[in-house]
Amino acid sequence: MHGVFFVCALVSILAVVLICVFLFANGVPAMQKIGLDNFLLGTTWKPGNDLYGILPMILGSVYITAGAIVVGVPIGLLTAIFMAFYCPKRIYGFLKPCTELLAGIPSIVYGFFGMVIIVPLIRDIAAFFGRDISGSSILAASILLGIMILPTIIGVSEAALRAVPGSYYEGSVAMGATHERAVFSVVLPAAKSGVLASIVLGIGRAIGETMAVIMVAGNQPRVTGDMLKGIRTMTANIVTEMGYAADLHREALIATGVVLFVFILIINLSFSVLKRRKD
Amino acid sequence: MEDIRMRPISIAGKRQPVRLHGRVKSRVQRGLVYGAAALTFAVLLFLISYILVRGVPNLKPSLFSWTYSSENVSMVPAIITTVEMTLLALLLAVPFGLFTAIYLNEYAARGNKLVNIIRITTETLSGIPSIVYGLFGMLFFVTYLHWGYSMASGAMTLAIMILPLIMRTAEEALMSVPDSFREASFGLGAGRLRTVFRIVLPSAMPGILSGIILSIGRIVGETAALIFTAGTMAQIPSLLQSGRTLAIHMYVLSGEGLHMNEAYATAVVLLIVVLLMNALSALVAKRLTKK
């Protein structure tokens, strides 16, 4: 039986190898055909004209992820502080599963929620200020993804805050610090690497999110810095066009997946480096 | 751990007067903490109640008729597909995940190089977004193995996706079994295999189960990994036929824009399944910690 267990243990290695091999083998040739420069730095995505520049999508992913971090990290971190230092024990037993539930809600439901609530809200507010937009925008996606990464930020940060020895807090309170001062100026800095790890993990979640983003981001492949305009992410590029793509177009979409995969690997790597440093 | 949620000691504050802006700062910080927490849980509450309020009135009996047609977008085929998909993916992932955890925790020597590699690959797997799994599934199962858009392709893809989750929870559960259990079993003359199956696994069962239940939640809610592996056909599929799960059903409905009421209804069903799974998993895990 030892052998059986051993072979099973090899499956996860096999899976990673297979994923890498098949993604790269199918994506890299397209990059060569298009030219790495034209592919990564080209600003026009027009498969009809054989123009495959994914810079708009890379920027789209980066903008929306940054927006999600701006929305999600402050709220998530403060909620984590609440959970660790403010929450009465009686309601903690109820609120903790709630944050886990937030992680369990399917992204399609989040996307739907964004589509029927956040997008119309942005449209109405913009209309009030005299701008006629659809509402599907960088802003909508940022808010929605900010909500979606909350459980990641809360969970990992809370664990990091709780891992700080209680003596830190007690010491600073004994020196006359208020509860807030002790938490914000002593415990929080001590938990810094764990908090950073939670942010990195949140970035990974946000950049890889697909269905929710497709439903609220507008999906126009363009370079824009306007928060109220639509944009397309790498993930959205794959899903919206894969259904009918063929030949080089299809390969270019797979290559988009490869670029996304490389992003994720880098993010994973920095996460494990941060985690190692914490241990 | 000690309770660190005590109030600040005010004597120290009186003797050495806290500067005014310090006290204001504390108050602002406290306000921010409570505000953020309130916002987080308000969003959750609003999301769930909004979907329920808009969706429940749309749960009409006709949505549960046996067949799907373009006039009546019944969700029964999708529900059956979801159950099939969940069972298939679990059938594939649970043995491998569980046996890997057993190997890592019960058999492998400490400091074994392979163990480290397996841990790194598991971490990598758990960080890969579902769309990348979907792409891989499309390239490998659908195209390379010629399985086409099918339940088999979808289930294999999902099995790889939930493997790290099952592995990690199973490993944690195995680790929480005290070594004295194993020692007692060995002392009574049981072999390693018998110890694992008779002593360690039964005590670790709640933890393993709660991991499996969590993965059910992930499978039910998954969309991106399934669109290009299992496809979107609304039918009750066999192993090599395409079928759409509830989440994909909802994506298709909301994308068409013609069946928003039905999409709300599907969202309710999805939400209830996920709520149930989370509650169940918490319940099972609680039994673990009580013991």
Q: What's the total number of domains in chain B?
A: 2
Tell me if B7 is assigned to some domain: no
Selected residues 240-279 of chain A with any CB under 8 Å from a CB in chain B: 242-243, 254, 257, 260-261, 264-265, 267-268, 271-272
Q: A91 CB near a chain B CB, below 8 Å?
A: no
The pLDDT of residue B231: 87
Q: B100-138 b/e with 16+ CB inside 10 Å = b?
A: bbbbbbbbbeeeeeebeebbebbbbbbbbbbbbbbbbbb
B103 and B47 in a common domain:
no
- The pLDDT, as a whole number, for residue A279 is 57
User: Which of B102, B127, B275 lies at the smallest CB-CB distance from A101?
Assistant: B275
B175 and B75 belong to one structural domain: yes
ipTM of the prediction? 0.92
Kindly indicate the confidence band of residue B15, based on its pLDDT and cuts at 50, 70 and 90: very low
What confidence category does residue B152 fall into, taking pLDDT thresholds of 50, 70 and 90? very high
Q: Which residues of A touch B271 (CB under 8 A)?
A: 105, 109
**Domain span holding position B43:** 18-58
Residues B116 and B187 in one domain: yes
pLDDT level of residue B12 (50, 70, 90 thresholds): very low
Indicate whether B88 and B208 sit together in one domain. yes
The answer on B140 and B32 residing in a single domain is no
Asked if A92 has any chain B CB less than 8 Å from its own CB, the reply is no
Are B285 and B170 within one domain? Answer: yes
Helices and strands counted in chain B (H then E): 12, 0
Report percent pLDDT > 90 for chain B: 57
pLDDT digits (tens, 9 = 90+) for A80-134: 999 999 999 999 988 998 998 999 999 999 999 999 999 999 999 999 998 888 8
Residue of B nearest to A87 (CA): B5
Q: What is the pTM of this model?
A: 0.90
Q: Is A15 close to B254, i.e. CB distance below 8 A?
A: no
- Identify whether B284 is part of a domain: yes
Cα separation of B210 and A141, whole Å? 32
Residues B35 and B154 in one domain: no
Residues near B241 by beta carbon (within 8 Å), at least 6 away in sequence: B150, B151, B233, B235
In a domain, B227, yes or no: yes
Model confidence pLDDT, tens digit, residues A31-51: 999 999 999 999 999 998 889
Region for B203 from its dihedrals, namely left if φ exceeds 0, alpha if ψ lies in -120 to 50, beta otherwise:
alpha
Q: Is B187 in the same domain as B245?
A: yes
Could B217 and A104 be called an inter-chain contact, meaning their C-beta atoms sit closer than 8 Å?
Answer: yes
The pLDDT of B16-30, averaged and rounded, is 75
- My answer on whether B49 and B67 are in the same domain is no
Ranges of residues in chain A with a pLDDT under 50 are none
Closest residue in chain A to residue B216, using alpha carbons only: A104
Q: Is A66 on the interface with B (CB under 8 A)?
A: no
How distant, in Å, are the alpha carbons of A55, A253, B175 from that of A128? 33, 39, 58
Given the structure tokens 């409905």, which residue do they identify?
A: B253
Q: Is A243 exposed, middle or buried (0-12, 13-18, 19+ CB in 10 A)?
A: exposed
Whether residue B46 sits in one domain with residue B112: no
Residue partners of A25: CB distance under 8 A and separation at least 6: none
Ordered structural domains, chain A, with CATH: 2-278 (1.10.3720.10)
- Confidence at residue A271, expressed as pLDDT on a 0 to 100 scale: 87
The band of B174, judged by pLDDT with boundaries at 50, 70 and 90, is: very high
Identify the helix (H) or strand (E) that includes residue A45.
Answer: strand A45-46
Q: What is the dihedral of CA B52, B129, B38, B19, to 10 degrees?
A: -170
Q: Measured between alpha carbons, how far is B129 from A208 in angstroms, rounded to an integer?
A: 5
Between B282 and A142, whose confidence is greater?
A142
Residues of A in contact with B41 (CB under 8 A): 95, 98
For residues A163 and A191, the answer to whether their CB atoms sit within 8 Å is: yes
Mean pLDDT of B57-78: 83
Backbone angles phi, psi at B16, to 5 degrees: -115, 90
Q: Look at residue B185 in the predicted model and tell me its pLDDT.
A: 92
B10 inside domain: no
